[in-house]
Amino acid sequence: MSTGGDALLKEELDIVIPTIRNLDFLEMWRPFLQPYHLIIVQDGDPSKVIKVPDGFDYELYNRNDINRLLGPRASCISFKDSACRCFGYMVSKKKYIFTIDDDCFVAKDPSGEKINALAQHIKNLLSPSTPFFFNTLYDPYREGADFVRGYPFSLREGVATAVSHGLWLNIPDYDAPTQLVKPLERNTRFVDAVLTIPKGTLFPMCGMNLAFNRELIGPAMYFGLMGDGQPIGRYDDMWAGWCVKVICDHLGLGVKTGLPYIWHSKASNPFVNLKKEYKGIFWQEEIIPFFQSATLPKDCTTVQKCYMELSKQVKDKLGKVDPYFSKLAEAMVTWIEAWDELNPSAQAGVAAANGPVKGK
């Protein structure tokens, strides 16, 4: 196992971790993740000191840092919810992001080998996607696979991949009702596949084990308003996934799901989850048809333009479902303003200059 110089995309990728506790889980990931730079987003009490294992290169932002860096626009970053992780996407200056939860451990493949999740995400992101036609042998770019008979040759170049969505062994990503009904269910099935989610199809994007091309889709990776002061939680990554998929479909970008697996160690409390989720369980019945029928005009040629247009449609159509969505639509605009402020084109290092806690 390598810990050093041959780490893929070492200079072009940041790892974003939202947390409220010491990052002991990184010990297990050391062989795979130590070469990379970490952006830690500390949730909750900013006076708490988060310990990061020695040897990791990191910057850490707590709520005070977020408020200082964004000023009044800090309102768009959730508090007391892992949705705060998207702040890390905004302050990164790298091309790629891998985000992982601190209860995710290294999984093993069926042969017993430890899975380098990040290496697989990078493979997924660096090879094209095929959103316009389904390949029955899954990822046609993988070694030992190809396009099958009947696959149009004009579509075999594929399109750029914006998102790589990884999965979880052990504790599956279930909602509270399913957790309550199946408290003992564990995911033991290792499905050795990566596939492109077809154009026009929405999916439930989980933020636990996720990588994306920040240059291609970053401004759409907003995790919404969740947690403290909000009527809902645990829909942060779902919201981002729905927005991202609609925009990827519009811009002709690819979204992949499947490998890599991580080992999800601990089920969250289903009673607490139910409290956070229950409005979402109603609302998603209206949100999903909204996103399924959402179309973006042709002049939306950048992610920012697409996202601003989507925020208008959210206000107009979902605002009727609950006033929360009007607030969320405004936060979507604030998010883009903050993103653009921290990421002026062809200029980097704005956030870094403001000095978060740095490690190593």
Per DSSP, helices labelled H in the chain are 26-33, 63-70, 86-91, 117-126, 176-181, 214-217, 236-251, 270-293, 303-313, 323-342, 350-353
Which of 175, 221, 306, 325 contacts a second copy by CB under 8 A? 175
Interatomic CA distance for residues 131 and 276, integer angstroms? 33
235 interacts with a second copy by CB under 8 A: yes
Tokens 């990379």 belong to residue: 36
CB of 177 to a second copy, least distance (A): 8
CB of 350 to a second copy, least distance (A): 33
193 interacts with a second copy by CB under 8 A: yes
Residue 146 contacts residue 140 (beta carbons within 8 Å): yes
CB of 124 or CB of 135, closer to a second copy: 135
CB of 41 to a second copy, least distance (A): 21
Q: Which stretch binds a second copy (CB under 8 A): 20-28, 113-121, 127-135, 318-326?
A: 127-135
Whether a cis peptide bond, with omega within 30° of 0, leads into 46 is no
Interatomic CA distance for residues 294 and 202, integer angstroms? 11
Judge residue 295's burial from the number of C-beta atoms within 10 Å of its C-beta, 0-12 exposed, 13-18 middle, 19 or more buried: exposed
Terminal CA-to-CA distance of the chain, rounded, Å? 22
Q: Which stretch binds a second copy (CB under 8 A): 180-188, 224-232, 314-322, 346-354?
A: 180-188
Compute φ and ψ for 213, nearest 5 degrees: -90, 105
CB of 31 or CB of 128, closer to a second copy: 128
Interatomic CA distance for residues 91 and 353, integer angstroms? 11
CB of 66 or CB of 294, closer to a second copy: 294
Concatenated DSSP letters of 176-229: HHHHHH-TT--B------EEEPPTT------TTEEEEEHHHHGGG----S-BTT
Restricted to residues 107-126, the positions that interact with a second copy (CB under 8 A) are 110
Which of 281, 333, 350, 357 contacts a second copy by CB under 8 A? 281
Which of 114, 126, 133, 279 contacts a second copy by CB under 8 A? 133
Instruction: Give the x/- contact pattern for a second copy in 288-327, rule: CB under 8 A.
Output: x---------------------------------------
Which of 61, 174, 222, 325 contacts a second copy by CB under 8 A? 174
345 interacts with a second copy by CB under 8 A: no
Interatomic CA distance for residues 33 and 3, integer angstroms? 8
Which of 105, 151, 278, 324 contacts a second copy by CB under 8 A? 151
CB of 160 to a second copy, least distance (A): 19
Interface residue list for a second copy (CB under 8 A): 110, 133-138, 144-154, 165, 167, 172-175, 177-178, 182, 185-193, 197-206, 234-235, 237-238, 241, 257, 277, 281, 284-285, 288
